[in-house]
Chains A and B, each alone.
Chain A
Amino acid sequence: MNHPYRVLAIALLLVLVGGVAGFGLKPYPIYLISQWAVYTISAIGLNLTLGYAGQISLAQASFVGIGAYATALLMPHGVPFGVTLVIGAAISFILGVLLGFPALRVQGHYLAFVTLALATIAFLVFRNESWLTNGTSGIDKIVRPFPFTSDLAYLWLCLGSLAIVTLGTWWLLRSPWGRAFLALRENPVRASSLGVDVRMYTLLAFAIGAALGGVSGALFAPLGQYIEPAEFALPLSFSLLLMVVVGGSGSFLGPFLGAMVAVALPEVLRSFQDYYLVIYGVMVILLLVFSPDGLVGLIERAVRRRPVAAPAEPAK
């Protein structure tokens, strides 16, 4: 499952299955699959920052918010969706670089608190600057870009974007850049002694992760056609972080699985109603106890335990 082409194939297959399934489904399941694609993009970004570069960020929800507000605010002024998406991603990228600067000075938990603090401030700005964001009333009647106006067409737009992000990330991780990210996570001091520019790569890890948050936000706004500040508050940051960890932090397929669990679980646990978040939280804790490398690690071990079913993988 770690083979680079195999993970790419599995990821793209998931996207394809989602797209084909859309044909036979009612609007609500289509909405859920679109939501999965949007969250996955955001989680892929956070996985780059957290899983590959080893820098914790609790501000990912703020970047989703920036992307969402950029699209919701600019599209009524006649700016095409493609441009608003790029603008949202670019603003997030720049803010991501700025967010990375504290990471150059402090690590681990201190970084978690800085990003937590910035996410709280970002939420207050979304909420309080009503002249721009319409405050707690939110923005409604966000139109979808032509020709992706129907639920099905918009699903394909989300999945198409996810496919592009998947290919891009896959390429990035195989490139010398991606390897530098990994070196950074494993041992920053050794990486820097081997000539990896630790400063630049730390900032880039934040910036690219943030930009993907912005992209996901741009898709998020027209999906539900309504946004409000509370959607981009701390709970979403926690939730995205848990998606990465549930799927498997630092594994390519992790965000795909983590986002799937986060979207599907409330539906599966519908009969438990309000208790589903309690069950979700307990499941995450159990997963961290028994499989710290998430669902991907769990599946890998299950596959490896049955050598008949899966041909022996080349030794690493």
Chain B
Amino acid sequence: MMSLLVQVLISGLAIGAIYALIAAGFSLLSQGSQTVNFAQGDFVVLPAFVILAANSYGLPIWAGFVIALVVAALVLGVLFKRLMVDPILPHGAMQLSIATMALSIVLQNSMLNVGGAQAFPFPGINGGIHWGNVFIDWQSVTILLTAVAAVTALNLFMGRTRLGRAIQASAQGPQVARLLGINVTRMVLITFVLNAALVTLAALLISPIYLVKFDNGIGIGLAAFSAAIIGGFNQVRGAVVGGLLLGVVQNFAATFGPTQYRDAVPMLLLIIFILFRPQGLLGRAEERRV
């Protein structure tokens, strides 16, 4: 029993760490440019398909990952911002959210038509180590370490480097940032590229577990939104706490609860948090603007 608990905890943390990456990107976008991206889940599936496509041409996974990074930075970063966010945001944040729902339909059906409806296997890491009677698989450990390293790097970048601080300043007070000589437009663009890099990394980590299927983005997106809100919408730290908590709770619910309602767990958490603690675990209460 104890060994099962530890295993469920570790694989829950691993999944949660990936949610944290996706949620962090989601928060960055919403903070940096009021873009609430309902296609964030599909943003994770697209690079996974790119990696698989590169792999099918005989390229190793790491090369596929590099190609996916470039494609994601261009398509999900620069083009997404230039072609959709920039023209629609002036009409209203809600209009933009609805446009990202349309984008989600576009991405899912493009991947369905190009890739097919089946779930594609994705190479992962086999094996593990027995520690007493607890089995720890390398894959979960690798995912956890990679995701934690990525989030730590992101946090250090945002907090300690000049560029990171400039990005934060642009998000929190664009006018003031502009007065201080910060190129706000470029900072926002960097935010989009950062998000593209985060979802590509998440694609690499999550695909061995969830496989690659055109509509995986729905579930991944819901989990990432929940993680972002549970932790505190506007913070990277919040995304980490929310992601890990959600991953663990979801994994325990899936192991010990009714499987049919597994997907309801993040939704219930989300509703409870929005109603009773909308600022999330780590956030501060937000005033309502008149």
Contacts and interface: CB of A to CB of B under 8 A. Distances in A.
A284 B97 CA distance: 12
A118 B109 contact: no
Contact of A289 (B88, B93, B263): B88
B160 interface: no
Contact of B274 (A113, A278, A285): A113
B278 A106 contact: yes
Given A120-B263, A274-B113, A288-B88, A234 B218 contact: yes
A102 B274 contact: yes
B290 A288 contact: no
Contacts of A235: 105
Contact of B278 (A110, A121, A242, A284): A110
B270 interface: yes
A238 B113 CA distance: 20
B271 A281 contact: no
A117 interface: yes
Contacts of B290: 189
A281 B274 contact: no
Contact of B263 (A56, A105, A118, A124): A124
Given A109-B97, A116-B222, A285 B264 contact: no
B274 A106 contact: yes
Interface string B198-231: 0000000000000000000010001001100100
B267 A121 contact: yes
Interface string B85-104: 00110011111111101111
Interface of A: 56, 102, 105-110, 112-114, 116-118, 120-121, 124, 127-128, 189, 234-235, 238, 241-242, 245, 274-275, 277-278, 280-282, 284-285, 288-289, 292
Interface of B: 30, 36, 84, 87-88, 91-99, 101-106, 109-110, 112-113, 218, 222, 225-226, 229, 260-261, 263-264, 267-268, 270-271, 274-275, 278, 288, 290
6 contacts: A105-B278, A238-B104, A278-B110, A288-B102, A289-B88, A292-B92
